[in-house]
């Protein structure tokens, strides 16, 4: 080993000084350069990872929101359809009820009209009978009041009755 030291002209004192200098420079570089750079790189890595996690969460929330929105739209359409069906049922029911009421009213009006017609007919018949009776009485009085032979009275009476018919 002594021969190697002499061949390469290695000075132990210088070598130890260089090793000490290297350790000092390495420590200073480590403390003032590498350590802060590593810290900054670690912080950036954490920020990037946090950003990626947040982006994944946001994407998942967006998917959930889209699914929720679609589900709400489907639900709203179903509710709207149910409301429309119920409204149609109610409208049909109301229409049928109104038609039944209208039919009943028409039937009542018909019955009342028939009754009024019957009453008017009865009234007219009474009036006609009364008038006819009055005319017959008048005719009979005319015939009786005249001094005509029996055959002439009978002819006049028959003629008057035929005129009344």
Q: Read off the tokens for 95.
A: 């229409």
pTM reported for the whole predicted model: 0.41
Dump pLDDT digits (tens) for 83-135: 999 999 999 999 999 999 999 999 999 999 999 999 999 999 888 888 877 77
CB atoms within 10 A of CB 126: 10
**What span, in angstroms and rounded, lies between the C-alpha atoms of 165 and 146?**
23
The pLDDT of residue 23: 97
**Which residue range is the domain that position 145 belongs to?**
2-164
Question: Average pLDDT for residues 65-93, to the nearest whole number?
Answer: 95
Domain count, the chain: 1
> HEC profile for 98-140?
HHHHHHHHHHHHHHHHHHHHHHHHHHHHHHHHHHHHHHHHHHH
């Amino acid at each position: 080993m002594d021969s190697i030291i002499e061949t390469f002209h290695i000075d132990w004192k210088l070598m130890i000084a260089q090793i000490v200098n290297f350790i000092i420079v390495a420590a200073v570089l480590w403390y003032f350069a590498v350590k802060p750079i590593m810290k900054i790189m670690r912080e950036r890595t954490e920020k990037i990872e946090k950003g990626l996690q947040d982006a994944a969460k946001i994407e998942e929330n967006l998917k959930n929101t889209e699914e929720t929105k679609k589900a709400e739209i489907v639900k709203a359409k179903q509710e709207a359809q149910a409301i429309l069906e119920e409204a149609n049922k109610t409208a049909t029911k109301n229409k049928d009820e109104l038609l039944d009421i209208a039919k009943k009213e028409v039937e009542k009006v018909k019955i009342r009209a028939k009754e009024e017609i019957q009453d008017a007919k009865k009234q007219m018949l009474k009036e006609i009978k009364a008038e006819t009776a009055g005319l017959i009485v008048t005719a009979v009085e005319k015939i009786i009041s005249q001094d005509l032979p029996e055959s002439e009275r009978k002819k006049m009476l028959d003629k008057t009755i035929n005129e009344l018919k």
